[in-house]
Structure 1
Amino acid sequence: MQVVGRSKSGGEEMRMKRIVLLALILVFAGVLVLSHSSVQRTSNGIIAFITDWGSRDWYVGAVKGVALSIFPEATIVDITHDVPPFELEEGAATLWFSSREFPSGTVFVAVVDPGVGTERRPLVVHTENDMFFVGPDNGLFTYVMLDFGVKAVYQITNESFMKPPVSYTFHGRDIFTPTAANLAAGRKVSDVGPEITDYIMFDVGAAYIENGIIYGEVMNHDQYGNLRTNVTRKYVDELGLTFGDRIKLTVEGKTIETVFVNTYGDVEVGEFLTYVASTDQFAIAINWGNAREYFDADIGSEVIIEKIK
């Protein structure tokens, strides 16, 4: 009886040890899962791409394959791959306009990179609204940094965030995308490399009002030829523009008289109009026409707006 009793006690003790061991394993596994879960990580699992690669070649497919190989649960978004080749300011504006609509924690891969393979640095910009922008140090992140604020900027040097071997001509695949995928999966942004403060930004000209006239410049144009300017709603309100007001408008030295309205259909087909676009910027268009072609305007073209009294 005593032997049987000891065996029963020993068996009970073994079961308790197994239960405790299993509980410890589950707790440890839970900690690991939680450390990489959306509850704990700053990122939300979204990786959004904007490039000038176009859709003809294999580049877009390759970077998506890299991202999914590293983080299969990623949600991949194509903002656009049709930024005009090498047009940094166009890319910067497009990135800014689109990124404003994404949730905090999104990781953006932005590649308009004529200096690929040179001494220009690969970066991660962590903005105050907890978004992450991965790409080249060439001014591409100027507008998001100005609007969202900057928590920190890091130079990517940690090879564990890269896809070896790193080519000279495809950093989008070998540095930017694997870094973005690792961040989306929950790795710390501070682990990518050293923090820097001497990053490149565009010299952005600000709009201003002088003697009742707004002076600004073209910031962006779309495929319809509509021109968006750096003149924000604040300046429109300060000038006192309301629906139906007549405007003397000069773009790239060419002057017309037009009207301030809400939308394209407020004027006849072929007529000019000005309005506040969905991006909250003063915009210029021709209903069913192309304002960019008419003015021969481009990014940086001077815009002068005067209310006709």
Structure 2
Amino acid sequence: MKIVLFRFISSLVLVAATSIAFAQNKIVVFQSDFGLKDGAVSAMKGVATSVSPHLKLYDLTHEIPAYNIWEAAYRLEQTVPYWPAGTVFVSVIDPGVGTSRKSVVLKTNNGHFVVTPDNGTLTLIAASEGIAAIREINEAVNRRKSSQRSYTFHGRDVYAYTGARLAAGVITFEEVGPLLPNEVVKIPYQAAVLENGKLKGNISVLDVQYGNVWTNISAELLNQLHPQYGDLLQVTFFHNGKKVYQTVAPYSETFGAVPEGKPLSYLNSLMQLSFALNQGNFAAAYHIGSGSEWSVEVTLFAKK
């Protein structure tokens, strides 16, 4: 009986310690559409440092295109899984600042926290990591002092402040504010599926440096078509359901597998199906964009 009781108590201690560690690893990662031309990002970091000088502050990106909630959602999904449990992400792409949209903290099933307006930014990370809990920020408590009359910089006054307090262990997750239903505002998009030998997916983002086109079609899903390197894939691109461009691109292991300027299909660094021109800009050449309204269909056209 004593052994059973000891094991039970030990389990409770372990769970409690793990929960505390999730909220207290002292790491805050910032994302915004502010750019670095002015002092906005520095102001957020100043607020966080004022909460605790022991925090470790990092940037995800501040080059999200202005008001582009979809790209904010994508960059979170691209980045969050590579950070340790307990990391707090402060994501501020907030075209509805000061309106009735909720300010929330999402705790994922993997122990990450995202402090953000609930405006669609959580669409992808909630789907990929799952929702452990969501709390609405109680601004009566979790708001920078003397900022109540400031309505247009919640990134500094609410999100950076709350994220820093959570990461530093000044507050627990429960002290963020009231618990909400495990639902987030979702941006509709084409989920990756295989239907009747045809892959369908979303054009999640462009590799902005090179113009490569990245989809949400995973290697595992692509493998259900059983392509081999050198096989030809027929690819059709759509914007709001309207066909924009169609091509045939060999499935390739490297860019150099095709002549310069020629198209290819490949797996990007996230192991998702993508399209490129060897030493060229695919997106610019064929007027392809990215976001929730862009989609793609892929079939196996011919074996090599």
Q: Give TM-score scaled by structure 2 length.
A: 0.85
CA contact (8 A) 1:158 1:191 kept: no
Farther off after superposition, 38-47 or 83-92 = 38-47
**1:135 is paired with a residue of what secondary structure?**
strand
Of 33, 42, 52 in structure 1, the residue corresponding to residue 22 of structure 2 is 42
Of 136, 155, 167 in structure 2, the residue corresponding to residue 184 of structure 1 is 167
**1:278 is paired with a residue of what secondary structure?**
coil
Q: CA deviation at 1:209?
A: 2.0
| Alignment of structure 1 residues 238-277 onto 2, 5 Å | 238-252=224-238, 253=243, 254-277=245-268
AA at the equivalent of 1:264? F
Q: CA deviation at 1:158?
A: 4.4
Q: CA deviation at 1:265?
A: 2.6
Give yes or no for the alignment of 1:294 onto 2:278: no
Q: Which residue of 2 aligns with 1:231?
A: 217
Q: Which residue of 2 aligns with 1:150?
A: 131
Which one has a bigger Cα radius of gyration? 1
Q: Which residue of 2 aligns with 1:204?
A: 189
* Paired positions, count: 273
Give yes or no for the alignment of 1:139 onto 2:120: yes
Give yes or no for the alignment of 1:79 onto 2:60: yes
Q: Which residue of 2 aligns with 1:22?
A: none
Rounded to whole Å, the distance in 2 between the matches of 1:39 and 1:58 is: 35
AA at the equivalent of 1:301? W
| Alignment of structure 1 residues 34-113 onto 2, 5 Å | 40-43=20-23, 44-113=25-94
CA contact (8 A) 1:38 1:45 kept: no
Q: Which residue of 1 aligns with 2:6?
A: none
Q: CA deviation at 1:38?
A: 9.6
Identity of aligned pairs, percent? Answer: 34
Q: CA deviation at 1:219?
A: 1.1
Unaligned 5+ residue runs, structure 2?
A: 1-16
Unaligned 5+ residue runs, structure 1?
A: 1-36
Rounded to whole Å, the distance in 2 between the matches of 1:161 and 1:217 is: 37
Rounded to whole Å, the distance in 2 between the matches of 1:112 and 1:222 is: 20
Higher strand proportion, which one? Answer: 2
Rounded to whole Å, the distance in 1 between the matches of 2:39 and 2:99 is: 23
| Per-residue deviation, residues 231-251 of structure 1 (Å, max 9, x unmatched) | 111221001112111111112
CA contact (8 A) 1:219 1:230 kept: yes
| Per-residue deviation, residues 145-166 of structure 1 (Å, max 9, x unmatched) | 1111111000001433210313
CA contact (8 A) 2:190 2:200 kept: no
